[in-house]
Amino acid sequence: MNTKQMYLKRMRQYSDNAEKLERRSGMYSTIRLVTFAAGTFFTVLAFMYLSNVHGFISMGVFFVLFLFLVAKHQKVIDETLKYRTLAEINKRCVARMEGTWTEFEDKGEEYADPNHMYSKDLDVFGHGSLFQWINTTNTFFGRERLRRLLEFPEKEAGQIRKRQNAVKELSKKIDFCQSLQCEGMMAQNASKNPDKLLDFCEDGTKLFRNKLAEQLFYILPELTIVFLVICWLDSSVSLYIPFFLLGVQAVINIVLHGRVSSILGPVSRYKNEIKVFYKMIELIEKKEFEDEYLIELKSRLFDKKKPASEQIKDLEKIVEATDIGKGYIVEILLNFFLFWNIHCVFALERWKAKAGKAIRIWLETIGDFEALASLALVAQMNPEWAFPEISDRKVCFNAVDMGHPLINEGKRVCNSINMDNKICIVTGSNMSGKTTLLRTVGVNLLLAYAGTAVCAKKMTCSVMDICTSMRVVDDLNEGISTFYAELLRIKMIIDHSRMKKPMIFLIDEVFRGTNSLDRVTGARNVLLNLDKDWVIGMISTHDFELCNLEKGREGRIVNYHFAETYTNNEIKFDYILRRGQCKKSNARYLMKMVGIELLDE
């Protein structure tokens, strides 16, 4: 069974389970309706023909039975949603393998930065992007962590190797990774920024600084209830005292209502997210790992007191308690008699004192696992892809049968290339594959630095900064033409090379916005500026004169090219990279092909 068949089988199994549970859910709905009708009927009969005691007993029995059925029904509904979500997860895996993943909603468009060193040129964010393809995260910190791994990876060889080992283990734990994703998907707003929740949890401010003032809210309700009971037992005792105490409590509630609401509001708005955090943390805590990095991440969820899941569960219970008092009548009764919301504030303050400073670490840990699970999916879907060797050399890159990860396997053409201490000039006619090759190198480097498998049989690379110039556009607001924008981009690359940090540049069709003479002169000077021991790179061009730089710099500057063939008035590309420079151009042929008449012939 291949990987795609495995996902299809899992999808069918989960869909079948969901359908069975939906039938059971319908059965529970019927039983609940019958129970309600029967309870109403027998309770009315008991009150009419037996006694009030029998009536209340009947009401109590059927009420408890109805609540039991509601709880069981809700459990079935939750299980159904879980299986539907797991089926959808496997459906998305199939979509990734079939090339229909560009329909996924989360494209990471808000992360797009046109001024970044490479993210725009390499399609890291946005429609049809690496992020859209790779992302399985759902929480805010998960998305942020994956974003950083793709946009600002921790490019230290030891850290990359640690992530590789973690990703290798997670790629084999398909149930764990899909369950983690499932829990995140079952909440509508799991990706919402929890900054207000974290600010509250990390803020040590208390409602009352004086401990004695806090005791008042325990004493007053007790006194009020005691006097009400006394008045009920002995009618001769005046009701003025309990009513006076209730009046005092009402005034206190009114005075403190604004402050109490401002404290409880931010927390209660994260009720659903807190439930998700609890389930995801519990899932991680219960899973056994062998990799040291995964064990290290998991250890963040434990302290000397109790596991993070239990402490998050405590927070969830407090938040649920605040919801009890949200009905208008219930809120008046609970707060006027018991200071309910104020006691919820006290419970939150006690929780904050114990766990408030740790919750950020817990949520970041969830994010780390989500990001690693996203990377693990790459290796899981493509078991034939290789984990790259991260070299300690200054600058090197070589790959065997390397293809673009985002191109569907059926259309992908793989090439081998050795760029160890080399600058490669790539020539070829229009549409022959030059730009795709540059992006193939860049995207595979991003996957390598993130810590996952690359689309190649074998790949070795050193840790380098990536600088690109491919999708250069004008800026009308700033009055910058396309050519000037490209000049600024190239200058940025050259300036970066002067930092003497290992780097690789990928420049597509350099200076396309000027005449051929200036373009060749400019491109030659760009390459001479970038001809440094700590720099390797690749530049594509239509100017064959630039290929002459290989002479006299054998071994440092190397020519590659793509070719095409013409059969029966059709142009065909094989997208195979070859050594040497291109000898053909096809602009005139392409013009004919689209119906533009060549009048100079």
Name the CA dihedral angle for 303, 305, 309, 310, rounded to a multiple of 10 degrees: 180
The answer to whether the beta carbons of residues 565 and 585 sit under 8 Å apart is no
Please tell me which residue, 198 or 567, carries the higher pLDDT value.
Answer: 198
Q: What percent of the chain has pLDDT over 90?
A: 48
Residue 216 in domain: yes
424 shares its domain with 335: no
Residue 291 in domain: no
pLDDT in tens, 101-118: 999 999 999 999 988 999
CA angle 415, 419, 420 (to 5 degrees): 135
Which spans in 172-236 are helix H? 174-185, 195-202, 211-233
Q: Rounded to the nearest 5°, which phi and psi values hold at 579?
A: -70, 150
Three-state SS for 282?
helix
Examine the pLDDT at 400 and tell me if it is beyond 80.
yes
- Give mean pLDDT, residues 573-598: 70
Examine the pLDDT at 566 and tell me if it is beyond 80.
no
With cut-offs at 50, 70 and 90, classify the pLDDT of residue 212: low
Q: Rounded to the nearest 5°, which phi and psi values hold at 472?
A: -90, 130
Examine the pLDDT at 476 and tell me if it is beyond 60.
no
200 shares its domain with 346: yes
Token pair listed for 445:
């480097």
Token pair listed for 101:
């993943």
249 shares its domain with 334: yes
Residue 208 in domain: yes
Q: Is 160 left (phi over 0), alpha (psi -120 to 50) or beta?
A: alpha
336 shares its domain with 413: no
How many C-beta neighbours within 10 Å does residue 111 have?
20
Examine the pLDDT at 478 and tell me if it is beyond 60.
no
Mean pLDDT of the chain: 86
Q: What is the pLDDT of residue 311?
A: 93
Examine the pLDDT at 36 and tell me if it is beyond 60.
yes
- Checking DSSP bridges between strand 415-418 and strand 503-507, what pairing results, if any? unpaired
How many C-beta neighbours within 10 Å does residue 150 have?
28
Residue 426: is it exposed, middle or buried by C-beta count within 10 angstroms (0-12/13-18/19+)? buried
| Last residue in a domain, options 52, 76, 98 | 98
What is the per-residue DSSP string for 519-567? HHHHHHHHHHHH--TTEEEEEEES-GGGGGGGTT-TTTEEEEE--EEEE
Token pair listed for 158:
């030891």
The answer to whether the beta carbons of residues 561 and 426 sit under 8 Å apart is yes
Q: 3-28: buried (b, 16+ CB within 10 Å) or exposed (e) per residue?
A: eeebbbebbeebbebbeebeebbeeb
Q: What is the pLDDT of residue 94?
A: 95
- In whole angstroms, give the CA distance from residue 168 to residue 503: 27
pLDDT in tens, 346-370: 888 888 888 888 999 999 999 999 9
Three-state SS for 243?
helix
How many C-beta neighbours within 10 Å does residue 100 have?
12
Tally of residues, the chain = 601
Residue 71 in domain: yes
Token pair listed for 426:
């790539």
* Residue 466, H or E segment: strand 465-469
- In whole angstroms, give the CA distance from residue 247 to residue 220: 11
Q: What percent of the chain has pLDDT over 70?
A: 90
Residues near 117 by beta carbon (within 8 Å), at least 6 away in sequence: 465, 466, 467, 468, 492, 496
The answer to whether the beta carbons of residues 39 and 63 sit under 8 Å apart is yes
352 shares its domain with 248: yes
Examine the pLDDT at 497 and tell me if it is beyond 60.
yes
Q: What is the pLDDT of residue 584?
A: 64
- In whole angstroms, give the CA distance from residue 338 to residue 315: 21
Token pair listed for 505:
């540049």
CATH number at residue 424: 3.40.50.300
Q: What is the pLDDT of residue 205?
A: 76
With cut-offs at 50, 70 and 90, classify the pLDDT of residue 343: confident
| Last residue in a domain, options 74, 98, 122 | 98
The answer to whether the beta carbons of residues 312 and 362 sit under 8 Å apart is yes
411 shares its domain with 539: yes
Examine the pLDDT at 237 and tell me if it is beyond 70.
no
- In whole angstroms, give the CA distance from residue 401 to residue 405: 12
With cut-offs at 50, 70 and 90, classify the pLDDT of residue 161: very high
The answer to whether the beta carbons of residues 108 and 126 sit under 8 Å apart is yes
70 shares its domain with 210: no
With cut-offs at 50, 70 and 90, classify the pLDDT of residue 220: confident
Token pair listed for 557:
């500057």
Domain that holds residue 559: 404-432+466-593
Q: What is the pLDDT of residue 482?
A: 75
| Last residue in a domain, options 98, 129, 148 | 98
210 shares its domain with 315: yes
- Cα–Cα distance list, 119 to 111, 115, 403, 558, 587 (Å): 9, 8, 19, 26, 30
What is the per-residue DSSP string for 396-458? -EEEEEE--TTS-TTT---EEEE-TT-EEEEE--TTSSHHHHHHHHHHHHHHHHHTS-BSSSE
- In whole angstroms, give the CA distance from residue 397 to residue 426: 16
Residue 13 in domain: yes
Q: Rounded to the nearest 5°, which phi and psi values hold at 129?
A: -95, 170
Tally DSSP H helices, then E strands, for the chain. Answer: 19, 12
Please tell me which residue, 571 or 197, carries the higher pLDDT value.
Answer: 197
**Total number of domains in the chain:** 3
86 shares its domain with 210: no
217 shares its domain with 312: yes
Q: What is the pLDDT of residue 599?
A: 54
Residue 584 in domain: yes
Q: What is the pLDDT of residue 140?
A: 94
- In whole angstroms, give the CA distance from residue 230 to residue 225: 9
* Residue 572, H or E segment: strand 570-573
199 shares its domain with 93: no
Residue 420 in domain: yes
- Checking DSSP bridges between strand 423-427 and strand 535-541, what pairing results, if any? parallel
- In whole angstroms, give the CA distance from residue 281 to residue 306: 13
- Give mean pLDDT, residues 285-309: 92
With cut-offs at 50, 70 and 90, classify the pLDDT of residue 38: confident
Please tell me which residue, 139 or 215, carries the higher pLDDT value.
Answer: 139
Three-state SS for 570?
strand
- In whole angstroms, give the CA distance from residue 345 to residue 335: 12
Residue 516: is it exposed, middle or buried by C-beta count within 10 angstroms (0-12/13-18/19+)? exposed
Residue 134 in domain: no
Three-state SS for 19?
helix
Please tell me which residue, 308 or 268, carries the higher pLDDT value.
Answer: 308
Please tell me which residue, 529 or 523, carries the higher pLDDT value.
Answer: 529
412 shares its domain with 341: no
Q: What is the pLDDT of residue 289?
A: 96
| Beta bridge pairs of residue 418 | 398
